[in-house]
Amino acid sequence: MTVIEVRAATAADRRDVVRVMATAFDDDPVARWLVPAARSLHPLFAAHARWAHDAPGSTDLALVDGEPVGAAFWDPPGFRTPAWRQVAAIPFYARALRRNLGRGAALEGLMHKARPQEEFWYLAGVGAVRRGEGIGTALLRHRLGAITGPAYLESSKEENIPLYERFGFELREPLRVAGGPELWPMWRPG
Q: pLDDT digits over 28-46, tens only? A: 999 999 999 999 999 999 9
Q: How many helices (H) and strands (E) does the chain have?
A: 7, 8
Backbone φ and ψ of 118, nearest 5°: -75, 170
Confidence band of 2 (pLDDT split at 50, 70, 90): confident
Task: For residue range 86-134, list pLDDT tens digits in order.
Answer: 999 999 999 999 999 999 999 999 999 999 999 999 999 999 999 999 9
1 has a pLDDT exceeding 80: no
Domains, the chain, with CATH or none? 4-188 (3.40.630.30)
Confidence of residue 190 (pLDDT cuts 50, 70, 90): confident
Q: How many CA atoms lie within 13 A of 6 on its CB side?
A: 23
By CB atoms closer than 10 A (0-12, 13-18, 19+), residue 50 is middle
- pTM to 2 decimals? 0.95
Share of the chain above pLDDT 90, in %: 97
For the chain, give the mean pLDDT.
96
Whether residue 10 is predicted with pLDDT greater than 70 in this model: the reply is yes
The share of the chain scoring above pLDDT 70, in percent, equals 99
